[in-house]
Amino acid sequence: MGLGVVQEFVANNTCAVVYTAAGTLVAFASGTVLGVIGFGPEGVIGGSWAATVQSWVGNVPNGSVFSWLQSASAGKGAARTAAAFAKGVGLGGIVGCFLANARNSTGIP
């Protein structure tokens, strides 16, 4: 597939491409950012910013932002919510774009 084909697809489907990229970015960024600040799938990463904060806090209260970040990095409820949101943004945007394009091409107001 040549670059011209890709450029034509993007030009004809800009809306869908933008929503797909946004959903993908949210899904990947949520896990990446958590890892960078020290929240890993097995818990807080030693020597990280998160480890420093945990040493200040001591026992982490249930329902706190810190515990939410730990759950998110471990792939529990919060991470699933973020992933579902990202998928919804991407899929909803794509469907909306295609419906709008279909309506415009048929002349339906």
Average pLDDT across the chain, whole number: 75
Percentage of the chain exceeding pLDDT 70: 63
Q: Determine, yes or no, domain membership for 1.
A: no
Extract the tokens encoding 107: 């002349």
Answer whether residue 104 shows pLDDT above 80: no
Range of the domain at 73: 17-96
Say what the pLDDT of residue 11 is.
81
Say what the pLDDT of residue 45 is.
92
What's the total number of domains in the chain? 1
HSE-up (13 A, CA, CB side) for residue 24: 7
Say what the pLDDT of residue 31 is.
66
Q: Determine, yes or no, domain membership for 10.
A: no
Q: Determine, yes or no, domain membership for 67.
A: yes
Residues contacting 53, CB < 8 A, separation 6+: 66
pTM, two decimal places: 0.48
Say what the pLDDT of residue 65 is.
82
Residue 67 to residue 57: CA distance in whole angstroms: 11
Residue with tokens 């946004």: 22
Q: Determine, yes or no, domain membership for 23.
A: yes
pLDDT band for position 46 (cuts 50, 70, 90): very high
Beta bridge partners of 44: 39
SS3 82: helix
